[in-house]
Amino acid sequence: MKKLMFIAILMMSALALAQCPNHGKGGPGGPGGHEGGPKGDHKGHMMMMHDEMLKELGVPEAQRAEFRASMHETHKKMMDIQFKIKEERIAMKGEAQKPNPDKAKLQNSIKKIGDLRRDQTLLMENHKLDMLFKLNPEQRKKALDFMEKKKKMMMDHMMGPGPDGDDD
């Protein structure tokens, strides 16, 4: 059961990539930087990959359109939360640069950022589960198999297979 849930979460994480507007873009911090990057629509590319996977799973166009709309709404919420985190970081930096920073204010900012990140995680994970359970059992099985293969390919690419060839 743990393996099934891990695979389900991994599969939905791939779906989440379609919601990361700056994933892989260059920015002030280099490729994948948090400050954006050159103009382009990487999100559109990820959405296309996601849509292709759903086509392979036999998900009808109407349901894929529903998934796209849901992902778009979740993405907007994620961006709102990310903006609040950035605002809080700016406020925190301003306080930290004062000659006599207020420790309580800094700790409060840290707590707010932690709460916002928790909200972000809950939003994403609930979205992933909602999408997973909108698939029928056959589609879900195909998706889990697909994600298991993708996970193995990614792990092999990053560090090679483990000593026993499995992660469990």
Q: What is the mean pLDDT of each run of 10 residues along the chain (168 residues)?
A: 58 52 44 42 54 82 89 93 96 95 95 96 89 87 81 80 56
SS3 27: strand
Distance of alpha carbon 117 from alpha carbon 125, whole angstroms: 12
Tokens 């292709």 correspond to 52
Distance of alpha carbon 129 from alpha carbon 10, whole angstroms: 11
> β-strand 30-31 against 26-27: which pairing, if any?
antiparallel
Task: Please tell me the pTM assigned to this model.
Answer: 0.59
Tokens 């389900």 correspond to 8
CB neighbours of residue 85 within 10 Å: 18
pLDDT at 96: 94
